[in-house]
Structure 1
Amino acid sequence: MMRAALLIGAALTAAPLSAQDHSGHSGHANHDAHSQDQGHAQHQPQPANEPEPKEVDLKADHCAMGHLPPEQCPPKEDQAGHDGMDHGSMHHSEHKDGAQPEQIDHSSMDHSAMNHSQHGAATDKSAPGAAPEDAVPARALEGPRHAADAIWGASAMAPSRENLARENGGMRTGSVLIERFEARITTDSGEDGYVWDAQAFYGGDINRFVLKTEGEGEFAGELEDAEIQALYSRAIGPFFDLQAGVRFDAEPDTRGHLVVGVQGLAPYMFHVDGALFLSDRGNITARLEGEYDQRITQRLIVQPRLEVELSAQDIPERGIGAGITKIEPGVRLRYEIEREFAPYVGIEYEAALGETADIARAAGEDPNGLKVVIGLRAWF
């Protein structure tokens, strides 16, 4: 009798556990009790010989959580917010063995610990009241002016800063510009002549030493006018320099002047040069020059030019009357063989005005004249 009872107990124990119905289980404790026969894809590791469960379709929910790029999501108005999601209703797909999908309680899950680094980043980063991404934080402007001094010491960094300033605008440079070096051929009975007009500078962007010289004469005659100026030039703006210094005239008579003037680039790219002169004999004169380079091609340039001279009083020894004494409008066409070397041709009209013209006529001279010019413009 005892032997029959043991055989019946053994038969009941050997019944396959897989025949039991587990579709009603919803807790993790029940899964642990039956993990030998049936593993859940999200809670228990799968045996090596069993296939993986179907991939969970949570696209709409992940779009609402910002885990997918916008192009893979439905319109925003159709998405539910993350806070409004019902995690309790989320379920997994059916098991391979035909078991019904189980309800999973997400209310106890720690979503902050989930790794979403593989999901696509959302492209819309705007937020009401947010600062732009390129905004400079306030702390970037705090601290000492030369923070490197705290590490390397002021004595080591001072020479480096001086060298940096010198190489980025503080370098001293020099240049020589021959603006006009030309022959003048008269169209009337006057004498042919020549003119030079050149200047050189040496210094930095702010302070410079400037040397100017100009003059004219006749090929068959003597030197008529010759002067040289030594000036201190200081930048008073991005395009203009204030200049002051002295001028020495060698011809037609020897005399000195104090000079103050401006030189630079006026609006619409007009090059201007104006100066006021006070001679050692108390005479006040002025000179204004303006020119404009109009490029026809990269090498062919038309340059209109105008020079005007004025005097505050009569200067009989030089044949000058008060007022506007002389005007020289002209135009030149030059070709830059190289940027530093450009021959040119042109015409120029020279006219004495006012009392100066009267003085010229009284001396038997023609106060007006049209000249053809052939010259060279160069710099180095």
Structure 2
Amino acid sequence: MDHGDMQGGSPPADARDPDAYANGHERGTGEHVPPGVTKLHLGDEHSFASFKLNRLERVFPRRGGNHTAYEGQLKFGGDFNHAVLKAEGEVAGGKLHESRTELLWGHAIAAYWDSQLGLRHDGGEGPSRTWLAFGVEGTAPYWIHTRVTAYLGQSGRTALRLEAEYDAYLTQKLVLQPKTEWHFYSKNDPEQGIGKGLSSASLGLRLRYEFTPQISPYIGVEWQRSFGRTADFMRDAGGRASQTRWVAGLSFWF
């Protein structure tokens, strides 16, 4: 039997109004409402707040001093529109070595995808930088969490950041997470030690154990490499263009 004509399309002219039986009333309204019954609120009508600390870790480079790294975000709003505060950085010797803070307005543009617009501020050692940020974040096919963000800064500077990560569940509690991150800049910025073009890239593997879905200790390894003028700036400062770092930390959310 061909059911092609039954799929989609406009309803027939004599179709019954699906809301007519209620005389236009919603749950919790009308003259015959039982006491204590409130108006129905759907899930996307509620505001919510959440905090997630993706990384709070101690970093052990093969060469150089140990330091602490962090990455997290605070989110408030509804499913379709929400404010997002992102923060990440490194602390060494009791001082903030580098930091990146973004205040963004997120808007759902498709299932599993948000657009984001806001500001980014870079701090720590050296001069600070402020950028206008625009990007998309969501879950790509095969459950790959993806972020693509473009930045417009002072003096005509532009930048692009690409991130992707995936949670591979080895067991119900043991999770292996590969993550990669790529940074591109349009201009040299010697004061920040950044060169134009592909500036740096990293690939990390973290193995975490979820005691509960909200709290997970982990261990891992991360490879980082600088390219082009960024590598030159790194060598001039006495550093290395590439390094391997072991990490141990904790992630949690509520």
Q: Judge same fold: TM > 0.5, yes or no.
A: yes
Cα 1:214/1:146, change in 2 over 3 Å: farther
Aligned mate of 2:124, from 239, 248, 251? 251
Aligned pairs for 1:227-242 (under 5 A) are: 227-242=100-115
Q: CA deviation at 1:366?
A: 1.1
After superposition, the C-alpha distances for 1:277-310 in whole angstroms (9 at most, x for unaligned) are: 1123431112111110000110000001111111
Q: CA deviation at 1:351?
A: 1.0
Aligned mate of 2:82, from 208, 213, 221? 208
TM-score with structure 2 setting the length: 0.85
Equivalent position of 2:3 in the other structure? none
* Structure 2 residue 31 is the aligned partner of structure 1 residue 170: no
* Structure 2 residue 22 is the aligned partner of structure 1 residue 148: yes
Structure holding more strand per residue = 2
Q: Distance in 2 between matches of 1:284 and 1:168?
A: 38
Equivalent position of 2:201 in the other structure? 327
TM-score with structure 1 setting the length: 0.58
Q: Distance in 2 between matches of 1:138 and 1:255?
A: 60
Q: Distance in 2 between matches of 1:143 and 1:300?
A: 51
Aligned mate of 1:183, from 58, 69, 73? 58
Aligned mate of 1:312, from 157, 172, 186? 186
Aligned sequence identity (%): 34
Q: CA RMSD in A?
A: 2.5
Q: Distance in 2 between matches of 1:196 and 1:315?
A: 24
Q: Distance in 2 between matches of 1:224 and 1:345?
A: 22
Gap runs ≥5 in structure 1: 1-131
CA contact (8 A) 2:178 2:206 kept: yes
Does the residue aligned with 2:156 lie in a helix, a strand or coil?
coil
Higher relative contact order (CA 8 A, sep 6+): 2
- Determine which structure has more spread, i.e. the larger CA radius of gyration: 1
Which segments of structure 1 move beyond 6 Å, counting only runs of 4 or more?
none
Structure holding more helix per residue = 1
Equivalent position of 1:350 in the other structure? 224
CA contact (8 A) 2:178 2:204 kept: yes
Aligned residues: 237
Q: Distance in 1 between matches of 2:74 and 2:251?
A: 14
Q: Distance in 2 between matches of 1:168 and 1:140?
A: 33
Gap runs ≥5 in structure 2: 1-5
Does the residue aligned with 2:134 lie in a helix, a strand or coil?
strand
CA contact (8 A) 2:44 2:80 kept: no
